[in-house]
Structures are given as C-alpha cells and as structure tokens.
Structure 1
Amino acid sequence: MTYTQRYVALGDSFTEGVGDWDPASPNGVRGWADRVAEQLVLADGSWGYANLAIRGKKMRQILDEQVDAALALEPTLVTVYAGANDLLRPRVDIDLLMSGYDDGVGRLRAAGAAVVLFTGFDASGSAVFGKTRGRTAVYNEWVREIADRHEATIVDYWRLREFRDWGYWDVDRMHMSVAGHTLMAARVLEALKASHRIDLPELETRPALNRVGQLRADAQWAREYLTPWVGRRLRGVSSGDDLAPKYPALGRPHRASVSA
C-alpha cells in the first residue's frame, strides 16, 4: 500500500511504549506513539506508521541506528525523544550529546519531515531520579534551542504537571503506565493540532501509606526494579539488546489494523 502521509517514531522505551503492556502488540507494548498513529489513521486513512524505538537505547545509538532507517521511509512526520538514558549515566557531556542531536534533527527537517521533540520530565518527586534534575534542565534548554533552529514542535514534558501524579506511572516508577501513555498521546496530538477521540482515563485513588508501609513499598520496589536496573548498567547490557523495532516498515499499528 502507498501512504501519502508517513509517521515514523524514534527513540527508546518512552516511544517504544514500555509500561503500556499489551501482549497482542509487537514487543508486548502499545504506547503513546501507537495511540497517536491510531488516531491519525482514524481521521485519515492515508497515514502509514513505523516505530523504530527500542528500550534502553542511548542518544548515539538512536542517531546511528534509527535516523537513516527513518529517512529511508521518507517520513512526513517524525517524533523523537533521545538522551534520557544518557542523562542517567554517572558521567555525560551534555553539550556533545546535544550537538549530535541537533545534527540528527537537522537531517530530518532537511528531508522535509515535520519533527516533534520532547523536553525531559521533571523528576523532582523521585528520590532516585530527582538527582538528575539539573542535567535535565540543561538538556531541556538545548531541546528548545534545537526546536527553534529547525522549526520543530515541542511537547513540553517538563511542564506537563499532570504527570506528577503517580497514577500515570507504571509500578517500576520509571515508565509511564497505560494511563500515562494515553495522556501523552492526547498531548502529542494537541501539539500537532490534530483532532482525536482519546478518552482521558480517570485515575484510581491509591490508599495512603503510613511511614512503615511506605518504607516496605520502597524496599520492594528497590529489590524488584531498581537493583536489576542498576545491575544491567554495571554489566553494560540493556533490556532492549535482543529486541528489534516493533514496526520497522510502514503500515498500521496493531489495533488500527484490527479495527480497519
């Protein structure tokens, strides 16, 4: 099938859809990008969609492995979020990192694609990831400068205060939940000025924990999620090492194909 409009999503676990678990979808995840594509197809059947994002990828990997592959698909729209995994490393040269990002975004724009970028989330509410808040603020200023230079659209994750509610986060406290991905899809479509029929979820009220209960919950989280995450980084491995892109060629996301 020939698609006159072509949406290609690039990035890491955020764009792959980790946290929005769906065993019927490739790699077992759906995610906000699939949800955006579903709405685009619903409004206009000429849209094709590819998602090249893979969890755990760092900036250089995304630029080296995904940009050329995206350009080969002749995209009219690209969303890209890269660099979050770099900011979590013990050392990072943000200026060097973002210089490469600038080049990659420039290549996508020069090919005629509209580009959507994301600022990083304000993790000040996390005892662990809040320590990267200063780095993320510098990263965000770079993203805004790159967007200005290349006339890209920004989804300002830093300013989306709704995401401070833990109901929008998966149990691993690192990735958005189904509700979070649903909300993000709506915010991306709004940034694109595209119509959508996404019903925003009502969050379940979580029972308040006393101090002992919170300490137990934090200890369980550390055992089940934080320790394995740190261990992978110490070993130089990633949860995405054995994964391929979920939608490497233009087509329709699983749920749009089912409903078509």
Structure 2
Amino acid sequence: MSAVPARTDPVRYVAIGDSFSEGVGDDGDVPFPGWAGRLASGLADHLSGPVSYANLAIRGRLLAGVLEGQLDAALALDPAPTLITFCGGGNDMLRPGYDVDVLLARLARAADAVAAQGVRLALLSPADPSARLPLGRLINARGDAWAEALTGFARDRGLPFVDVSRDRHLRRAEFWSDDRLHMNPLGHQRVADLALHEIASGPEAAVPSVPDAAPTSVSAELRYYRDHVVPWVRRRVTGRSSGDGRVASHGDWTLVAPAGRR
C-alpha cells in the first residue's frame, strides 16, 4: 500500500475515465458527487488540508479514448497533478472484439508516460453491473479477466489498485441506480471509501449496512427495458455515444477543503 503523503505536500488529484469516474448515477447531496469527487473530499478530510481536484472523465469513452485524450490533458494541467486515478475498459466489455492483451498494452504505455512525469498513478477495475443486466454472464467473465489483468499489472509496477469489480457488496442491487449500469450514491461512496484506503492508507471501508432491495415487478422490468435497454441498443446501432458533445465536469483545478472548512 502506498504511503500517505506528508500533510504539507500539495495534493493535486485528477480522475480520468468513463461514466464511472465521471460520477453518473450519483445524485446525492454532496459538494463533489461521484466516487472521484467523494474521494477528493475524503483525501482533504484524511490529510487535514485542501486538495486540488479535477475530473476529465466523460461517459461512453472506450479505454483508448481515455488514454489518448484525457491522459494528455491531465498531464498538461498547470500546476501538474500529483495523483491520477484511471478506470477504463468497462465500455470495451460491451463491444465485440474485446481483447484484454490489447487493453493492457495501451495501459502499459500510458503508465510509462505518467511515471516519466513523476506522477502517482492509481488503478481501479470497473464496477460490475452484470448481476442484473442482459448478457450478464458475458460481461461478468470479461470483467473478471480485466480485473485479474489489472491486479497483476498493478502488482508488477507497485501501483495502488482498487478492485471494485470483485467487491462482493457492490454486486447488490442496493448500490445501483435505476439504469442498472451506473451506481447510485451508496455505490459511489463505497468505491470512494475503498479507494481512500488503498491510495492514501485511509480507514478500511466499513461493511455496508443496507436493507435488501425489493424484488422488481413485471411492469417494472418492462419499464426498465423501454427506458434504458432500448435507448442503449439504439445508440449502438446508430454509432452514437452517450458522451457525444459532453465536456469534462471539472476541467481545471477546483479546491476541495476539509469538512470543517466547507
């Protein structure tokens, strides 16, 4: 586990990735939503000092788009970041031709570029929504393969790694939003707690105490397919992305103060 930065060291944290890192699904009443924003707040509280935060993640991005676009922008921030979190590959799992080795080779080149700039890189595996999705078994198998590859990659390079994909609590329906593809505020907070522990030696994430979700009715299932599955299929057929035309939520540094100073 990586050592906690000295309290006097500046922390400039930027997240890159897809909808997971952008924070889609988190409509909670927090100053910086999404697990990445919640992590920034957690870092400020844990280190008892302000944290500079940027988030360049955009929904719908494939891993190549994250590494070829957002990473360059992250490294070009002024002043330079001290910490980058990367989570990608979730959208790749939903495409034909999914190849872990190709993704890993791209990640290796990106990690080399980050290391050359003296910036800390932390990796997260994508959250696994497969328990309640069509083609869930295929997505789960691909997610496990990617998480296993990331585990070895992070170990070999000495990088912090948060294995969100295989966290048993996050497979429960209670942590997911209505679209079943993005986490709700409970899920995003769980990931932020796991990340704070792994990246900055924060407290170990507590076992969540959440009531079981009520079973869904036939009419609710039909609404789910109408409101979420059909539009997703339509975008795939027409070659569009949910992130088309979107810009980063926090494209430059924003100061995140500890809770006592907010």
TM bracket, shorter-chain basis? 0.7 to 0.9
Which of residues 144, 169, 180 in structure 2 aligns to 1:173? Answer: 180
Alignment of 1:6-85 (within 5 A): 6-21=12-27, 30-42=33-45, 43-73=47-77, 74-85=80-91
**SS of equivalent to 2:12:** strand
Deviation at 1:124, TM superposition (A): 5.0
Post-superposition CA distance 1:137-169 (Å, at most 9, x none):
222232123212321111111331011221000
In structure 1, the partner of 2:5 is none
Q: TM-score if structure 2 supplies the norm length?
A: 0.85
Asked if 1:161 corresponds to 2:168, the answer is yes
Select between 223-232 and 198-207 the one with higher mean Cα deviation: 198-207
State how far apart, in whole Å, the 1-side matches of 2:149 and 2:88 are: 12
Extract unaligned runs of 5+ from structure 2.
1-8
- Aligned partner letter, 2:226: R
Letter aligned with residue 248 of structure 1: G
Unpaired segments ≥5 residues, structure 1:
none
The question of 1:190 aligning with 2:193 is answered no
Count of equivalent residues: 250
Q: How far apart are residue 227 of structure 1 and its match?
A: 0.8
Could you tell me which residue of structure 1 aligns to residue 4 of structure 2? none
Superposition pairs of residues 101-180 of structure 1, within 5 angstroms: 101-128=107-134, 129-180=136-187
Q: Write out per-residue CA displacement over residues 37-71 of structure 1, whole angstroms, 9 at most, x where no aligned residue.
A: 01222333342111100111111110111111111
**Whole-angstrom CA distance in 1 between matches of 2:254 and 2:118:** 20
Residues 49 and 250 of structure 1 are in contact (CA less than 8 Å); yes or no, is this contact kept in structure 2?
yes
Provide the rounded CA distance (Å) in 2 between the counterparts of 1:54 and 1:187: 22
Please give the residue correspondences for 1:219-238 in structure 2 after superposition, counting only pairs within 5 Å: 219-238=222-241
Task: Out of 85-94 and 171-180, give the one that drifted further.
Answer: 85-94
In 1, Cα distance between equivalents of 2:65 and 2:29: 26
| 2:54/2:250 contact within 8 Å kept | yes
* Matching residue's letter, 1:99: A
Q: Structure 1 residues 222 and 259, CA, compared in 2 at 3 Å: closer, same or farther?
A: farther
Contact between 1:50 and 1:248, CA under 8 Å: does it hold in 2?
yes
**Aligned sequence identity (%):** 34
Q: CA RMSD in A?
A: 2.7
Cα distance in 1 between the residues matched to 2:25 and 2:202? 25
Per-residue Cα deviation, 1:74-117 (whole angstroms, up to 9, x for no partner): 22111110111011112223322221111112211232222211
Q: Are residues 127 and 18 of structure 1, via their aligned partners in 2, closer, same or farther at CA, if it must alter by over 3 Å?
A: closer
